[in-house]
Amino acid sequence: MPIKLMAASRRRPGLTRAEYFRYIEHYHGTVARLERFKIEKYIQNHVIDGAFGVLSDADGHKNKVADRDAVVELHFDSFRDMLATLEPEGVTTSRANQDGKFFADEPTNIIVMAEETELPVAKPKPDFNPGLGEPGNGALKVMQFIMRRPDVFPQDFHRLWRQAHDEALAASPYANDMFRKIVVSKRSRVNDNDAAARAHFKMVDPPVYDLVVSFILDSMEQVGAFRQYFDAVTASALEFADWSESFFLYVRQVRIIDDAPPKE
């Protein structure tokens, strides 16, 4: 899929998590299906848990928690299709755009326009079917938002992350055994012209994340595999990421629009 728009948001004041999840899945999701425009695929990721920064961050660090409740992933065949959906021709404001204020704390949205690459894993299928999640796809996804250090060139950031990732996986036998799929979402430079997305998602001065890595595991029971990997990758001697400004989320995937869902 050539490009996707990821938006990590938190719920608006006054909503419980249950109300928020019900709203975005059943109401907002329905709006998106009715008003699909050029969306090729739409996945909602409902946050179960997560963490911001690293244990060594001082008490005074401004980010205490990973305050995100969902990450939506909107896939498009092209950048033009993305724009045609965010700013549909002949429509002043789309229903999806108008609907955001009823569930999201819009100024704090974080977006990443990204291109996906899948990395190889040692064991794409479990030894037995745990009966959880979708066919051919595990039940738990971990989404790691990694911020580039400002002194590091973007091209080196991606190279150094890949080296650190490979070394971390090699040092993490449980993770190596349990990651069923790894998807790298690399921020595209088209993201530099994100005025339409900022208007759609009503963001104010959003932080920039150059990389989001998604890990698929069978179930929450194996999430310790990610923690093993996380400890290894953040301990890397390679200096490329601002781990204090990075965060990860444990999420449950909800397919809103998908004409070709995964098969066994």
Partner 1 sequence: MPDMTKPEWAAQKTYDENRAFSKTKATRPSLTPDEEKRPFAKYYYDEIPQPDPVHYATMDEPMDPADAFYPEDINRLLDLPALEAGVEIGWCNLPNGAGYIANRIHYPEFTADMVDWWFAWHPLEDLRYRIWYPPQHAGIMLSPIDRARILDDSVPDREKNWGVVHNVTENCDNGYENIDIAFRSPADMGFDLEKFGEVAATMAGGMGWSVSVDKDDESITAPAIMCHMLYDAPEGGLIHRTRFWMGYRFNEEAKPELCLPPGVSVPVEAVQGLARHNVKEYTRWREFLPRIYAELGPGMYC
Nearer to partner 1, 51 or 83 (CB): 83
83 is a contact residue toward partner 1 (CB under 8 A): yes
- Tell whether residue 79 is a contact of partner 1 (CB under 8 A): yes
> Is 2 among the residues that bind partner 1 (CB under 8 A)?
yes
CA angle 79, 80, 84 (to 5 degrees): 120
Among 189, 204, 259, 263, binds partner 1 (CB under 8 A): 189
By the rule CB under 8 A, 257 interacts with partner 1: no
Q: Is 155 in the site for partner 1 (CB under 8 A)?
A: yes
Quote the CA–CA distance of 246 and 234 in Å, as a whole number: 10
Q: Which of 152, 182, 211, 217 binds partner 1 (CB under 8 A)?
A: 152
Q: Which is nearer to partner 1, 81 or 177 (CB)?
A: 81
Among 3, 96, 146, 225, binds partner 1 (CB under 8 A): 3
Cβ–Cβ < 8 Å for 243, 179:
no
Smallest separation (angstroms) from partner 1 to the CB of 121: 19
Q: Is 207 in the site for partner 1 (CB under 8 A)?
A: no
Stretch that binds partner 1, among 21-29, 100-108, 164-172, 192-200 (CB under 8 A): 192-200
C-alpha 74/C-alpha 79 separation (Å) is 12
Considering only 19, 192, 221, 258, the residue that binds partner 1 (CB under 8 A) is 192
Choose between 69 and 73: whose C-beta lies nearer to partner 1. 73
How remote is the C-alpha of 153 from its chain's centroid? 23
Say how many residues touch partner 1, by CB under 8 A. Answer: 28
Among positions 154, 173, 261, 262, the unique one binding partner 1 when judged by CB under 8 A:
154
Binding site for partner 1 (CB under 8 A): 2-3, 78-80, 83-84, 87, 89, 115-117, 150-156, 159-160, 186, 189-190, 192-193, 195-196
